Structure 1
Amino acid sequence: MSNETVFVKILDKEYQVACPREERQALVESAQLLDERMKAIRGTGAVIGLERIAVMAALNLSHELLQAKNASHAGGSAASQSDLLRLNDKLDRALNHNAG
């Protein structure tokens, strides 16, 4: 199990990441998903700054992961789009409040 260097691009910036060879594809797919999410958040114009965009994307992805995990344990469905939008709005307000 040897590590290899993988280059991924997120928000037009290239990052060099070491990972086990057998996890390369998962890393590339994860980086692509993160890049898509961050571009979508940046595209709204509501969040400014790379750090805030990254935090918003991480919080959204974490929320989705927890919802999916809870749903698989409870046998229910994943979070609805409206739940995610409400969470996103709440996080936006909190971040904007802390910036001011």
Structure 2
Amino acid sequence: MSQSHTITVHILDKDYCIACPPEERANLESAARYLDGKMREIRSSGKVIGAERIAVMAALNITHDLLHKQERLDLQASSTREQVRTLLERVDRALTNNPDELTT
């Protein structure tokens, strides 16, 4: 396990020092930029006031997006499993009906 280093990220006009392994630095910086962008969008809408409320709304929006994408991935995985199962059944039927055709 690699040793953590402290990096500073800038989110909604504030700096945050965060311990992070060197190999995760780029991911953390990307996440911080994404969060900063979402929080700025919410703040600029003018409908939410206060950094804490903006942070909660951003967290809810990001979580909603994540769960929605996960749901879509789960549905796609289920569909893919069903397609593979159907193909395997077709292969099994083909092999059962014509086993000699494989050797010719």
| Identity, % of aligned positions | 49
Residue of structure 1 in register with 2:8 after alignment: 7
Residue of structure 1 in register with 2:59 after alignment: 58
Check if 1:39 corresponds to 2:40: yes
More helix by share: 2
Structure 1: 5+ residue runs without aligned partners?
A: 77-100
Structure 2: 5+ residue runs without aligned partners?
A: 78-104
Poorly superposed stretches of 4+, deviation over 4 Å:
none
Q: How many residues align?
A: 76
Q: Cα distance, 1:14 vs. partner? A: 0.5
Larger Rg: 2
Higher relative contact order (CA 8 A, sep 6+): 1
The superposition leaves residues 28-78 of structure 1 with CA deviations (integer Å, 9 ceiling, x where unpaired) of 0000000000000000000001110000000000000011111101029xx
Q: Give the structure-2-normalised TM-score.
A: 0.71
Alpha-carbon RMSD: 1.1
